[in-house]
């Protein structure tokens, strides 16, 4: 393994490899090391993580894997969407190769035979959810902001996000998927995206202890009660509205509920890509009926393949990340103009590699 740094995310070097890999005591330590980009994932980073997991899987000296992010801002803000934007504009295929290997890594993390401990501190979005929330031990802090914000850039939740969110209690996952709202610690625990709350100041000591003892012995000494969240109190209006069969009806129910927060949510939905909203709702419903994460990832790969050639993905990233005018012009611009055929096109069977 290559030389690394202290297990503390705050003290990790900002230069050198974008994934720092080291072993210490009983643990294999992975540190995503692009702090200026909130550790956004690139294709080589995905391959490096997979390579480390391969080396450690049969290594009896490694009992636990820990993944964390460099810097103070978060574990991972997702994939490198500027690179995706440029590839999509050029009509390239590099992004498909990235997604294929990323989704395979997500599936591998879910079935990894050793404890895989993810420090979901700070920003954890998109691909950051993929390398953490499929793990067997998921730790959030008071700084955690866990989200699948894809509908805001004309995309759909991927990296197994539809699988995870479709299994949240009631319609909470539907709410998070369509709005892209970030879940704090308590809400991540409530929705099944995390397992334990640990104050951020304790993470360095937790990482150190995991190099000496098994995770199931260490975590109880660090886990605390999370500060109150927001979703539990909103469960009634969320469940009532999002149980609807169409996005249009969801919006109508939110507007008619008489709850100010519900109206604000409807207003938020109407800023998202209409096509992405309808495809996401259909994907969540399908994922809920599918037992296999790999099968859901296969579905998401088809969705991503279609999205890569859509106008909305390029426009959404332009508006949110490139020009930052926050004024995307969606095609088509309204929910009513997105047809059933438009949605079905995303789910069409294609000759694509399977996520296994």
Instruction: Identify whether 79 is a catalytic site residue.
Output: yes
Active site residue 69: no
Calculate Rg over the CA atoms of the chain: 20
Angstrom distance (rounded) from CA 195 to CA 57: 23
Helix (H) or strand (E) holding 65: strand 64-69
Q: Which of 4, 78, 127, 135 is catalytic?
A: 127
How many CB atoms neighbour CB 207 within 10 A? Answer: 22
- Per-residue buried b or exposed e for 30-56, using 16+ beta carbons within 10 Å of the residue's own CB: bbbbbbebbbbbbbebbebbbebbeeb
Q: What is the token pair recorded at 325?
A: 């005018």
154 is catalytic: no
Rounded alpha-carbon distances, angstroms, from residue 134 to 2, 105, 112: 25, 10, 10
Q: Which of 4, 74, 78, 79 is catalytic?
A: 79
Catalytic residue among 80, 101, 150, 312: 150
Catalytic site residue from 80, 101, 158, 187: 158
Contact 156, 303 (CB under 8 A): yes
Rounded Cα distance between 290 and 12, Å, is: 40
Instruction: Give the residue carrying structure tokens 């690179």.
Output: 83
* β-strand pairing of 19-24 with 27-32: antiparallel
Instruction: Please confirm, yes or no, whether 150 is among the known catalytic residues.
Output: yes
Catalytic residues: 79, 127, 150, 158
């Amino acid at each position: 393994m290559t030389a690394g740094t202290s297990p503390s995310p705050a003290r990790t070097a900002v230069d050198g490899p974008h994934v720092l890999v080291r072993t210490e005591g009983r643990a294999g330590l992975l540190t995503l090391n692009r702090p200026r980009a909130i550790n956004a994932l690139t294709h080589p980073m995905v391959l490096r993580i997979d390579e480390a997991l391969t080396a450690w899987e049969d290594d009896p000296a490694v009992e636990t894997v820990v993944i964390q992010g460099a810097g103070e801002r978060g574990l991972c803000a997702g994939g490198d969407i500027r690179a995706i934007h440029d590839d999509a504009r050029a009509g390239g295929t590099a992004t498909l190769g990235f997604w294929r290997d990323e989704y395979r890594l997500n599936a591998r993390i879910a079935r990894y035979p050793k404890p895989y401990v993810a420090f979901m501190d700070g920003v954890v979005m998109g691909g950051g959810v993929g390398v953490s929330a499929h793990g067997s031990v998921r730790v959030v802090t008071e700084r955690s902001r866990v989200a699948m914000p894809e509908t805001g850039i004309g995309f759909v939740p991927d990296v197994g996000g539809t699988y995870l969110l479709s299994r949240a209690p009631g319609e909470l996952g539907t709410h998070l998927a369509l709005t892209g709202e970030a879940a704090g610690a308590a809400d991540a625990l409530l929705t099944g995206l995390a397992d334990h709350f640990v104050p951020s100041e304790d993470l360095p000591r937790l990482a150190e202890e995991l190099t000496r003892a098994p995770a199931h012995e260490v975590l109880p000494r660090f886990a605390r009660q999370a500060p109150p969240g927001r979703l539990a109190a909103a469960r009634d209006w969320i469940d009532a509205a999002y149980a609807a069969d169409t996005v249009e009806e969801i919006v109508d129910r939110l507007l008619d509920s008489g709850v100010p927060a519900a109206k604000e949510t409807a207003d938020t939905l109407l800023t998202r890509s209409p096509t992405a909203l309808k495809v996401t709702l259909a994907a969540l419903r399908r994922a809920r009926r599918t037992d296999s994460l790999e099968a859901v990832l296969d579905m998401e790969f088809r969705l991503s393949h279609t999205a890569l050639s859509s106008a909305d993905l390029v426009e959404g990233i332009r508006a949110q990340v490139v020009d930052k005018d926050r004024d995307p012009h969606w095609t088509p611009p309204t929910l009513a103009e997105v047809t059933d055929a438009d949605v079905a096109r995303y789910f069409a069977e294609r000759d694509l590699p399977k996520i296994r």
